[in-house]
Structure 1
Amino acid sequence: MVGAALSMGGCKVGPAYKAPAVQAPPAYSENGANGGPTGNWSAAAPADDKSRGQWWTVYNDATLDQLEEQCANANLSIAAASQAYEQSHALVQSVRSALFPSVSIGASATRNRISSYRPLRPTTAPNYYWDFLIPLSISWEPDIWGRVHRQIESASATAQASAADLANTRLSLQGTLAATYFQIRGIDLQTKLLQSTVDAYTETLGLTENRRKGGLASESDVEQAKTQLEQTRAQLIDLGVQRAKLEHAIAVLIAVPAQTYKLAEKPLDGDPPAIPVGIPSELLQRRPDIATAERRVAAANALIGVQKAAYYPNITLGANGGVESSDITNLMNTGSTLWNAGPSASEILFDAGRRKANVQAAVAQREQAAALYQQQVLSAFRDVEDQLSSLRILADEAQVQQRAVASAERSTELSILRYKRGLAPYLEVLTNQTIQLSNERVAAGLVADRIVASVGLQIAIGGGWNSLQLPKN
């Protein structure tokens, strides 16, 4: 019987797992497919197929590198996700233990009294006696129908999903950190712009006051110049409020008290780096959230086998033994031994459709997980397309905006020159300076938007992660 059970241990009921089919386009539309535009991110360098891991290093910013390491090591959400994986990994070990026999041993010593009037009690038997017992029990339920193996399969897939959740949490939070960091650097750029503008407006105010003293400008011109200067100073103060909030957000991400964290000013400069995106089919291995969804399909598929195994008999191999004596000095004698052994089997004859309903529920759970997986894949493709579109459009906008800034600067220079010569009212200078500042702030904002969009693209393509990194459990 034992040999037969062992020989059948490899049988597993339930469907074999096959990942849900998804249709990946040959290329991204923003990457030259179907006649679409081609950005500077389309050409891949020879090393682009390697895992980038620390994807943020492409920005060559030592401060960002340090912050990302702090986030990875100290962030509490990442720590919580890590413990969630440890729990799921431990559950795999717990389920796997069902493949082996369970052995238990005990010991008892009881003092007993028998009624003097007990039926059929020998008259010479004592009323009081000790019973010393050391029982040993061995029980094993061979996995003939593969129920335990399916449970292990499901638990392992769930643990892998948890590991992918951890990777996705880390990727998301480190991406948020990078985006927040560059938003602060963008504010620093605008701060630098407004500070230089305040200096320019202060100079203009001095010019206007001198002209008023000479009778060439009115008191109204002076007040307008003061108003413009104070408005710009107010904008500068408002940037400080925004910067403080973003600093506090970074403090939370690196798990330090918000009131103790300060980030030195460093204006953003330069264009975003080129980010090779590969082909869409690679995204299925490079996005941890896709891996999470796919592993949950596998876990749900294995549970179908678990429920189908309930249709088959439960077979248990067991043995009980030990030593028992009323005299502790004889407890270990050969004559004190006792034992019994043999298999047992049970089968449910009627359950009012419970097993059938459980199988149907497991199938529906798998189909739900498959639909969510396919939806996650579609969302991932959309994310990449969104970020590629943003990078292309923002690059075009930045070029146009730079031309607008150049024209505004030239217009302001000419109006100031005309004002000095008495050929234009101060209102013309005021209007042109306002237009120039507005365009310069838009241009500065685009610098930050482009860098943040490149961070978004890094996250959309998985940040260098690969599903091959999932633990085997």
Structure 2
Amino acid sequence: MKHKRDLSSRLSTLAIALVLAGCASVPAIDPAALPATPAAFKEADGRFTQAAAADTQPRGEWWKTFADPVLDGLAERAGSSNTSIQVAAARLAQARALVRRADADRAPQLGVSAGAARQAEAGAGGVAGTLASAGASLSYEADLFGRLARSSDAAALDASAREALLQSTRLLVQADVAQTYLALRAVDVERALVRDTVEAYRGTLRLTERRVEAGDVAELDAARVRTDVAATEAEALALDRQRAQLEHALAVLVGETASNFAIPPAVWSVPLPHVPAGVPSTVLARRPDVAAAMRQLQAAQARVGVAQAAWFPNLSLTAAGGFASPEVSDLFKWSARSWGIGALLSLPLLDGGRREAGMQSARAEFDAALASYREQVLVAFKDVEDELSALRLLADQSDAQARAVASAERATALSDSRYRNGLVSQLELLDAQRSELRNRRQAVQVRAAQYQATVGLIRALGGGWDAQEVGQAEAVPRPRV
């Protein structure tokens, strides 16, 4: 009778645990906590619908749209030698190893053992004996409540997030290489412009010095020209320093020593590529940082399930077989065989709040991952809007600056003619030359900003685009709700 009551009590405990397991579920993702999908980019035309993550789609060699062989070579070298990419690749390999380890916990475990012990057993009169043994053991944990499966799922999602982060690192490095290289070429143009101006000032200085010797103008005129020559030379040296720093930054990006790395100055003839204004938000779904945040959220969701499963019983099945004998020579005789099978159902009752703390920690991690995903999506849309608005405004600024350069050139030509004919003072000519130089440099800087914004837009859209994607419209990926 007592045995029946004990059995009934055990079955009741197991039934309660099964009911609790049926009621437990991972937390759902509240759609209200996700950012609202915009109907269109404010800075471009296009409509959006929902889309799945597409970060694994090939992005192509998007930097080749700039048609610069030097940039092509730098991007390829960075892809194979950049240290940030190598670190991200190692992190991905580590995450994949953790997936294999999590999967291994779900498989049967087989082991072999051999040993010898000398001991005195009770009742043997203190006489010591030797016992040799050899055998094998097999164990398996029945995943009744999905703890191991959810752990494996979480590890797989972590690895998927790491893969997306590797893609994100590649895209970041490629964009950094392109932007740094294009900035260097812009400095080359500006350096050439400033040095040409220095030569022009020196020519003006020689002419002024001759006129001073002839008594046509005062020494003050020559001093003013010398001042402009020296000041412009200082600006040229500042640009030399800036170029050296950009060159050193490129060396780090391609994984080479700055002391052995050099890019000769060249004429900047790279065409400004046109990123289609109708590029759909399908490309947003290809942003690897958004995909990584989504998978990290799903992994946190799975880990809540792992923490919940800690409240339910564990069922372990074991089997062992082998030989044991006091004599080594008899160890493998059939009469020395031994075996055993067993099943263990365990359920902790008091743990000082450890499981509850684990639940709270997992839920807090889930809440943090949800907030991080929301932030990443908002940042993705912000990045695209930033670059679209920059390109639109820079185009207008470039037009205005071109008009300013044309006017400055005309003013300099007129001032030079009037000065040579003695109609105006040298001060007016110097002012016109300074204005022309300033406007020309600003035009170069605006052009450089257009290239930087173009690369920034390509990066914000997740890399390259396919012509078939233009005119279509889909939105950022969303996790399962």
Does TM, scored on the shorter chain, surpass 0.5?
A: yes
Q: Which residue of structure 1 aligns with residue 44 of structure 2?
A: 31
For residues 230-284 of structure 1, the C-alpha deviation after alignment (integer angstroms, 9 at most, x for no partner) is: 2212211111011111111111111211122111112323652111365664244
Alignment of 1:267-278 (within 5 A): 267-269=267-269, 272-276=272-276
Alignment of 1:417-432 (within 5 A): 417-432=417-432
Q: Which residue of structure 1 aligns with residue 12 of structure 2?
A: none
Instruction: Point out the more displaced range, 455-464 or 355-364.
Output: 355-364
In structure 1, C-alpha distance between the alignment counterparts of 2:123 and 2:148, rounded to whole Å: 49
Kept after mapping to 2: 8 A contact 1:19/1:294: no
1:139 aligns with 2:139: yes
Q: Which residue of structure 2 aligns with residue 52 of structure 1?
A: 59
> Aligned to 2:132, what secondary structure does the other structure show?
strand
In 2 relative to 1, CA 284–236 (structure 1 residues): closer, same or farther, beyond 3 Å? closer
Alignment of 1:57-456 (within 5 A): 57-112=64-119, 114=120, 119=123, 121=125, 127=127, 129-269=129-269, 272-276=272-276, 281-456=281-456
In 2 relative to 1, CA 236–283 (structure 1 residues): closer, same or farther, beyond 3 Å? same
1:51 Cα deviation from its structure 2 partner: 3.9
Q: Which residue of structure 1 aligns with residue 50 of structure 2?
A: none
Read off the aligned partner of 1:221 and give its amino acid letter.
D
In structure 2, C-alpha distance between the alignment counterparts of 1:323 and 1:86, rounded to whole Å: 42
Kept after mapping to 1: 8 A contact 2:139/2:317: yes
Q: Which residue of structure 1 aligns with residue 9 of structure 2?
A: none
Give the TM-score of the pair, scaled to structure 2. 0.85
Read off the aligned partner of 2:131 and give its amino acid letter.
D
Read off the aligned partner of 1:223 and give its amino acid letter.
A
1:54 Cα deviation from its structure 2 partner: 1.6
In 2 relative to 1, CA 279–57 (structure 1 residues): closer, same or farther, beyond 3 Å? closer
Instruction: Point out the more displaced range, 343-352 or 310-319.
Output: 343-352
Kept after mapping to 2: 8 A contact 1:268/1:447: no
Instruction: Point out the more displaced range, 205-214 or 154-163.
Output: 205-214
Read off the aligned partner of 1:76 and give its amino acid letter.
T
1:388 Cα deviation from its structure 2 partner: 0.8
In 2 relative to 1, CA 250–194 (structure 1 residues): closer, same or farther, beyond 3 Å? same
Q: Which residue of structure 1 aligns with residue 457 of structure 2?
A: 457
Kept after mapping to 1: 8 A contact 2:66/2:271: no
1:371 Cα deviation from its structure 2 partner: 1.4
Kept after mapping to 1: 8 A contact 2:67/2:270: no
In 2 relative to 1, CA 262–446 (structure 1 residues): closer, same or farther, beyond 3 Å? same
1:19 Cα deviation from its structure 2 partner: 9.2
1:210 Cα deviation from its structure 2 partner: 3.0
> Aligned to 1:323, what secondary structure does the other structure show?
strand
1:214 Cα deviation from its structure 2 partner: 3.4
1:186 Cα deviation from its structure 2 partner: 0.5
Kept after mapping to 2: 8 A contact 1:192/1:267: no
In structure 1, C-alpha distance between the alignment counterparts of 2:379 and 2:233, rounded to whole Å: 43
1:192 Cα deviation from its structure 2 partner: 1.3
Read off the aligned partner of 1:57 and give its amino acid letter.
K
In structure 2, C-alpha distance between the alignment counterparts of 1:351 and 1:197, rounded to whole Å: 80
1:136 Cα deviation from its structure 2 partner: 1.6
1:170 Cα deviation from its structure 2 partner: 1.6
Read off the aligned partner of 2:340 and give its amino acid letter.
N
In structure 2, C-alpha distance between the alignment counterparts of 1:271 and 1:399, rounded to whole Å: 17
> Aligned to 2:339, what secondary structure does the other structure show?
strand
> Aligned to 1:106, what secondary structure does the other structure show?
strand
In structure 1, C-alpha distance between the alignment counterparts of 2:465 and 2:93, rounded to whole Å: 20
Instruction: Point out the more displaced range, 252-261 or 235-244.
Output: 252-261
Kept after mapping to 2: 8 A contact 1:321/1:340: yes
> Aligned to 2:142, what secondary structure does the other structure show?
coil
In 2 relative to 1, CA 333–351 (structure 1 residues): closer, same or farther, beyond 3 Å? same
What are structure 1's unaligned runs of at least 5 residues? 1-7, 35-49, 468-473
Q: Which residue of structure 1 aligns with residue 8 of structure 2?
A: none
1:103 Cα deviation from its structure 2 partner: 1.2
For residues 338-359 of structure 1, the C-alpha deviation after alignment (integer angstroms, 9 at most, x for no partner) is: 1111211111223454433422
> Aligned to 1:104, what secondary structure does the other structure show?
strand
In structure 2, C-alpha distance between the alignment counterparts of 1:14 and 1:265, rounded to whole Å: 63
In 2 relative to 1, CA 80–360 (structure 1 residues): closer, same or farther, beyond 3 Å? same
In structure 2, C-alpha distance between the alignment counterparts of 1:465 and 1:143, rounded to whole Å: 45
1:56 Cα deviation from its structure 2 partner: 0.8
In 2 relative to 1, CA 465–104 (structure 1 residues): closer, same or farther, beyond 3 Å? farther
Query: In angstroms, what is the RMSD of aligned CA positions?
Result: 2.6
For residues 15-44 of structure 1, the C-alpha deviation after alignment (integer angstroms, 9 at most, x for no partner) is: 38769644222321111469xxxxxxxxxx
Q: Which residue of structure 2 aligns with residue 45 of structure 1?
A: none
For residues 142-188 of structure 1, the C-alpha deviation after alignment (integer angstroms, 9 at most, x for no partner) is: 11111011001111111111111111112112211111111110000
In structure 1, C-alpha distance between the alignment counterparts of 2:344 and 2:242, rounded to whole Å: 72
In 2 relative to 1, CA 286–276 (structure 1 residues): closer, same or farther, beyond 3 Å? farther
Read off the aligned partner of 1:66 and give its amino acid letter.
G
> Aligned to 2:349, what secondary structure does the other structure show?
coil
Kept after mapping to 2: 8 A contact 1:135/1:322: yes
Kept after mapping to 2: 8 A contact 1:12/1:146: no
> Aligned to 2:340, what secondary structure does the other structure show?
strand
Q: Which residue of structure 1 aligns with residue 26 of structure 2?
A: 15
In 2 relative to 1, CA 278–154 (structure 1 residues): closer, same or farther, beyond 3 Å? farther
Read off the aligned partner of 1:364 and give its amino acid letter.
A
Q: Which residue of structure 2 aligns with residue 40 of structure 1?
A: none
1:464 Cα deviation from its structure 2 partner: 3.3
> Aligned to 1:332, what secondary structure does the other structure show?
coil
The count of aligned residue pairs is 438
